[in-house]
Amino acid sequence: MNDRFWSRIRSDFPVLKRKINGRPIVYLDSACMALKPRQVISAMNEYYERFPACGGRSIHRLGEEASDAYSRARGKLARFINAAEPGECIWTRNATESLNIVASSVKIERGSKVVTTSLEHHSGSLPFVERAKKTGLKLEVVRARNDGTFDIEDWKRAIDSSTRIVSVVHSSNVTGTIAPLREIIEIAHDRGALVVSDDAQYAPHHPLDVQNLDVDFSAISVHKMCGPTGMGVLYGKMSLLESMDMFLVGGDTVSDVRFEDGRIIPSYLPPPHKFEAGLQNYAGAIGAGAAAEYLQSIGMREIEQHERDLLRAALEGLKQLSHVHFLGPDDVNLRTGLLTFVIDTVESAHDIATFLNDRYAVMIRSGWHCAAPFHYQIGIPPSKGTARASIYIYNNSNDISIFLTGLQTLIEQTS
Ligand SMILES: Cc1ncc(COP(=O)(O)O)c(C=O)c1O
């Protein structure tokens, strides 16, 4: 794919036409929230303008059109991750909700073990920490190396025959490192455990084939893959979804609710409906489907390559700057397109983000990125935090140059 192709992609994003303080926007915060292309915006507008009705219930014309678009969107998500059937994709509000459903609804015997890591986003660890507290489970934490990679021997030690579930971040939102998920899944399955993969950062940037990986559950954040806010997906193997307890119950989850001898007796629908209580975010699901289709039309391999090219340039540039330390390995093939760093001469990561924003309209994220345990592990105090620049399909080499120029100026002014 050449520069012309990527500049056409860039032109799909209306917000990039904006200027801030006379400067074009350099958006490097997609690991937090991706920008939205017009294809996604129009798909959602079409719902609101042409068939803003309830899906799955009303049998009138608008209801039928809404139901059709809603179920087509589920099919698009299933194709995006190669699920065996659309019903294995459950709409949620975000990856956090997807992970909470798994943590609270998978049946786990008292005394069993749950394994997670020191690198998790809070959304990947805390639902399991709380489940362990509530239902008497043991929780073991596999420690990532300080560069965000793992020693596979640690996984072999931690996952044993008492382990019921493993929660692992596929691609870290702090170091950008990609976990050896296939090996972890093999170890877990060998010992009778299930694996939930936190794909919030992985799915938007790399080809994800859940059947080929044989992963049991995957949590996806739609707003990080050019889709609307307030949307996520939980993928689960059908047999597991069928065996799980409900998360929320109520309207739309039941096939019948009998009233006999003064008792209310529900019969629940099969997945995905048993997990989708109440009226849904139809526009959101339709936007999610459009986002999946949009990314696939570009090609996930092409997206991965584009981001790695830019990441390589950013890493090389960063290495030339004095006082900068970045997290994660040098090899871009081990990572997703994000770059987290600190600068010795700047007290707080927020100061880096503020300077870049105010002077260069460069937008990055600062803080501890909802991954406090890993920041404690590497000895970065919460008050200092880390700065993170993250790359997506609409970024180009000019964005990386402006970002590096901004950092250079900041270092000169603070040294
Ligand atoms: C690795 C990782 N997991 C989970 C989440 C939570 O995603 P969501 O905001 O969709 O709940 C994030 C969000 O930043 C993330 O980066």
The angle subtended at Cα 141 by Cα 218 and Cα 193, nearest 5°, is 50
Q: Are 226 and 219 in contact (CB under 8 A)?
A: no
Task: List CB contacts of 369: < 8 A, sequence separation 6 or more.
Answer: 121, 173, 174, 340, 386, 388
For ligand 1, is residue 385 a contact (CB within 6 Å)?
no
| SS3 (DSSP) at 64 | helix
Residues 253 and 115: their CA atoms lie apart, in Å, by 31
Residues 30 and 120: their CA atoms lie apart, in Å, by 18
Tell the residue nearest (CA) to atom 7 of ligand 1. Answer: 95
Which pLDDT value is given to residue 57? Answer: 78
Catalytic residue from among 32, 54, 89, 370: 370
Q: How far is CA 140 from the centre of its chain?
A: 23
Specify the pairing of strand 194-198 against strand 163-169. parallel
Dig out the tokens for 73 from the structure: 């969107």
- The per-residue DSSP string of 204-238 comes to TTS---HHHHT-SEEEEEGGGTT--TT-EEEEE-H
- The per-residue DSSP string of 235-299 comes to EE-HHHHHHSPPSS-STTSEEEEEEETTEEEEEEPPTTGGG--SS--HHHHHHHHHHHHHHHHH-
Q: Are 217 and 240 in contact (CB under 8 A)?
A: yes
Residues 127 and 96: their CA atoms lie apart, in Å, by 9
For ligand 1, is residue 173 a contact (CB within 6 Å)?
yes
Sign, CA torsion 392/397/403/404: positive
Sign, CA torsion 397/399/405/407: negative
What residues form DSSP beta bridges with 386?
Answer: 367
Residue type, 71: S
Please state whether the predicted TM-score (pTM) of the whole model is above 0.85: yes
370 in catalytic set: yes
259 CA to centre of ligand 1 in angstroms: 42
Dig out the tokens for 347 from the structure: 């007290």
Could you tell me the maximum CA-CA distance found in the chain, to the nearest angstrom?
A: 80
Which pLDDT value is given to residue 2? Answer: 85
For ligand 1, is residue 125 a contact (CB within 6 Å)?
no
What residues form DSSP beta bridges with 254?
Answer: 268
Residues 221 and 94: their CA atoms lie apart, in Å, by 5
Task: List CB contacts of 42: < 8 A, sequence separation 6 or more.
Answer: 290
In tens digits, the chain (415 residues) has pLDDT values of 788 999 999 999 999 999 999 999 999 999 999 999 999 999 999 999 999 999 877 889 999 999 999 999 999 999 999 999 999 999 999 999 999 999 999 999 999 999 999 999 999 999 999 999 999 999 999 999 999 999 999 999 999 999 999 999 999 999 999 999 999 999 999 999 999 999 999 999 999 999 999 999 999 999 999 999 999 999 999 999 999 999 999 998 999 999 999 999 999 999 999 999 999 999 999 999 999 999 999 999 999 999 999 999 999 999 999 999 999 999 999 999 999 999 999 999 999 999 999 999 999 999 999 999 999 999 998 778 999 999 999 999 999 999 999 999 999 999 9
Residues 258 and 273: their CA atoms lie apart, in Å, by 19
Residues 66 and 410: their CA atoms lie apart, in Å, by 51
| Ligand 1 atom at minimum distance from 223 CA | 10
For ligand 1, is residue 336 a contact (CB within 6 Å)?
no
Q: What structural domains does the chain harbor?
A: 3-28+299-414 (3.90.1150.10), 40-296 (3.40.640.10)
Residue of 121, 126, 338, 365 to test ligand 1 pocket, by largest number of atoms within 8 Å of CB: 121
Q: Are 340 and 177 in contact (CB under 8 A)?
A: no
Q: Which of 410, 396, 400, 318 is nearest to 362 (CA)?
A: 400
For ligand 1, is residue 281 a contact (CB within 6 Å)?
no
